[in-house]
Structure 1
Amino acid sequence: MKVRGHRVELPEINAALERHPMVRQAASALKPLPSGENGLCAYLVAEEGSTPTTAELRRFLAQSLPVYMIPSLFVALPALPLTPNGKLDRAALPDLDAAARLPAGGTRDAPRPGMEARIARIWCDCLGLTECSREQTFFELGGTSLLLTRVQKALEATCRRRSPSPPSSNTRA
């Protein structure tokens, strides 16, 4: 399948995820993201007593996969849905629910009042999130380069001035 012009092999993503010591099973799929665009989503069953964070999984996957094959969202499930034949039932993979997403990892420092809080609100609106930490980057939260244009337009409207280019991927809320 192709995602944003790149050929993506879902079994390769699943195999990479299942090499993580805290992941028992994994399945990836192209799903509508809360932002409205389609993106890669990883569903996983964690090992007993483990809860890997999104940040941990992204760092782990970055060692073996190109950036365009790293899922935007990670969702924890008690078990992967199976067909009567015991194969993965992709159609039964649940819709993306914010409550089921894995924790992002890192600290949970709230954005400071003022401009930082306004930027965080814009990020949350564009990404379909209820909150974000000031320690997380836009991409760690599931953002894409395409969504940066939406963020840029919202920032221009909020600040009432035109920005020369989208915010950097390293910019934090």
Structure 2
Amino acid sequence: MKLQEAQGQFIQAWGSLGSSWGISKSMAQIHALLLASPNGLSTDDIMDRTQLSRGNVNTNVRELINWRLVRKKTVLGERKEFFEAIHDIYSMAQHIMEERKRREIEPVLTLLKDLKKTELEGKDDEVKHFQALIKDLEEFVAQMENLLNLASRINSNSYLKKMIKAIS
């Protein structure tokens, strides 16, 4: 199999996985393309390889930069902007966990804490049931947040990375 064919399969698969993770297929495909590229690519290069529009590429590259998965790269003598993926898998995973925590876990936890403090009116058994649900969910989501925090600390500690690899 030729390299470009294998990269194409990877880009398609990563795009499908991305939509399962809650990001657009286009964003995941661009990320996969940049991951598979040892050097930075221009917007035109990305458009050519993914068959996506300039606007779609620009929007998704900007979002990947916000997620800290891609960075701009300057090339001496070139007027174009180039973009390259963060190739360190541990750093990439850490950035994804931190962004998902910020976008998903923190807002839910805030809502649950606010609902827990709210005085509710209604039938006693229904109010108690709802309050118990909110309490249990808050505890669970807080534990998930703690787990993400722990995983984030592990990713930034090279000794722990080596220990985990040795155990695997």
User: By the TM > 0.5 criterion, same fold?
Assistant: no
Q: Tell me which protein shows more strand as a share of its residues.
A: 1
**Structure (1 or 2) with the greater helix fraction:** 2
Greater RCO (CA < 8 Å, at least 6 residues apart): 1
